[in-house]
Amino acid sequence: TSVDFHPMGEAAQHGADFSDLMLSTSFDWTVKLWSPKQHQQPLHSFEASEDYVYDAKWHPNHPALFASVDGEGHLDVWDLNRDFEAPHVRVKASDSALNHCCWSSDGKRIVTGDAYGVCSVFACEKELIQPRPDEFSRFEERILDLKPTDVG
């Protein structure tokens, strides 16, 4: 399981503050989006995996992007400005469980680590990772529209 707070990154330059947003992963096969200062329940539960979700990391520059990895070897990249129900990109990155992911500091690459210690590096398309100026306000509006979920 893991926890990752949203990085400030470029958000402050665009008048947005996402520092209260947090992702958690769990053995319940989900990634959950939290706003702990505002709510005691998750804002949303992402349920695309069919195995444990071991890690999730926010993109360092794009406000609405995060990546997650699971026990089936999938690397998922989510764009929450596009869809809350399915990852924007899903890659079968390994035949074994992926238990860690990490963005490069510039956000152009993502590294995954599997259960056997094999690390893989993936380059990301510029169109996916380069936020347009409206991405910040769109994400802020989408987050404000969310209400806590009743998840157990």
Q: Which is higher by pLDDT, 14 or 127?
A: 127
17 pLDDT band, cuts 50/70/90, is confident
What pLDDT does 59 receive? 96
What pLDDT, on a 0 to 100 scale, did the predictor assign at position 101? Answer: 98
Residues 6+ apart with CB under 8 A from 86: 48
Mean predicted confidence (pLDDT) in 127-132: 89
Share of the chain above pLDDT 90, in %: 72
Q: Give me 33's structure tokens.
A: 């989006």
**96 or 37, which is more confident:** 96
Helices (H), the chain: 126-129, 134-145
**Is residue 133 predicted with pLDDT exceeding 60?**
yes
* Band of pLDDT at residue 150, cut at 50, 70 and 90: low
Is the full-model pTM beyond 0.85? yes
pLDDT class of 31 with cuts at 50, 70, 90: very high
